[in-house]
Amino acid sequence: MSQSPGPVVTRRRLGGELKRLREGLGLKLEDVARSLECSPSKISRLENGKGVPRWRDVRDMLEVYRVPEGDERARLLDWAQSGRAPMWWSKYADVMPPVMATYVELEWDAARIQAYEPFVVHGLLQTPDYARVVLRSALGPDAPERAIEKLVEVRMRRQDALKQEHGLSFSCVLDESILNRVVGSPDILRAQLEHLLATAEEEHVDVRVLPFSAGLVPGSRGAFAKLDYSEGIEHGLVYVERPPIAGEFLADPAEIADHEVWLGSLYAAALSEPESIPLLKRAVRRMAASDG
């Protein structure tokens, strides 16, 4: 059973339907705003899934659009309610930058994620100890320990998306340097690599290594991910990582197309998962020897 959509995709789905209804009647944003005594920008934000819908506002819009009582009206009002529902990440709002919080929501709702990481293991694949070192490095020595621990909790909770029943298909290309970069200690890296080996056995998870021998591949200079959805976000999104722990979303079709080309190049140059496994195992043995 796949995971029910979270508020981000639900809001986008609702917004798309509201826009379809408005345009079907030949109404402009200004026409609807005048009827509801609000600003056109408020209607636009709801249609783009950027505004948090209020049940009463959606009800009033459906009146303007002459949507009668029935299944369609009930469904849209239900989406308005679901679009406001708090999710598990809400309790971490005090430590997550807004862009990171949005990414967690979008990641949770995705049907497929294809990612590339040049420096560290992807967050969905990290162990707690590895994540703790990565976050402490990103936030600096003055970051409160409580904040780091809560962010580690977020990272571990995100990994529930990799459970079979959630419905996410996840693939990631890791640069070979990640297998050699000691994060924290050889023991922490060894445990991390062992976790990668175990996770790669899951049918819906694909972990690949971009070997040094591949050279400089287009798109290989920075971390990014393509997120696709079964509904609600037609062309998907690209998330480009920016230090320290936030990033930037790309929704422009041309930019998405560029990153899809780069993903194709990276996956073509990377070793297949069966070819990557021996490389991971050798790295585990090397770290075990270093720790000993």
Tens digit of each residue's pLDDT, the chain (292 residues): 344 556 777 787 888 899 999 999 999 999 999 999 888 888 988 888 766 788 888 999 999 999 999 999 999 988 888 766 667 888 898 999 888 888 998 898 888 999 999 999 999 999 999 999 999 999 998 999 999 999 999 999 999 999 988 889 999 999 999 999 999 999 999 999 999 999 999 999 999 999 999 999 999 999 999 999 876 677 899 999 987 777 899 989 999 999 999 999 999 999 999 999 999 999 999 998 876 5
> Based on the structure, what is the number of domains in the chain?
2
Last residue of a domain, one of 34, 52, 82: 82
Residue of 232, 248, 285, 243 whose CA lies nearest to 140: 243
In this structure, are 143 and 220 located in the same domain? yes
> Residue 157 falls within a domain, yes or no?
yes
Taking CB atoms within 8 Å and a gap of at least 24, the contacts of 222-226 are 222/118, 223/115, 223/116, 223/117, 223/118, 223/119, 224/115, 224/116, 224/259, 224/262, 225/113, 225/114, 225/115, 225/116, 225/122, 226/113, 226/114, 226/115, 226/256, 226/259, 226/260, 226/263
Last residue of a domain, one of 59, 82, 105: 82
How many Cα atoms within 13 Å fall on the side-chain side of residue 273?
A: 15
E strands, 65-176, in order: 112-117, 169-175
> Residue 2 falls within a domain, yes or no?
no
Q: Give the pLDDT of residue 89.
A: 85
In this structure, are 119 and 261 located in the same domain? yes
> Residue 1 falls within a domain, yes or no?
no
CA R_g for the chain: 22
Last residue of a domain, one of 82, 114, 131: 82
d(CA 290, CA 284): 10
Range(s) of the domain holding residue 66 = 7-82
How many Cα atoms within 13 Å fall on the side-chain side of residue 86?
A: 6
**CATH number of the structural domain spanning residue 145:** 3.30.870
d(CA 128, CA 155): 8
- 228-263 burial by CB neighbour count: b if 16+ within 10 A, else e? ebeebbeebbbbebeeebbbeebeeeeebeebbebb
Q: Give the pLDDT of residue 90.
A: 83
Q: What is the DSSP letter of 90?
A: G
DSSP line for 222-255: S-EEEEE-SSSSTT-EEEEEETTTEEEEE--HHH
In this structure, are 76 and 105 located in the same domain? no
Q: Give the pLDDT of residue 235.
A: 82
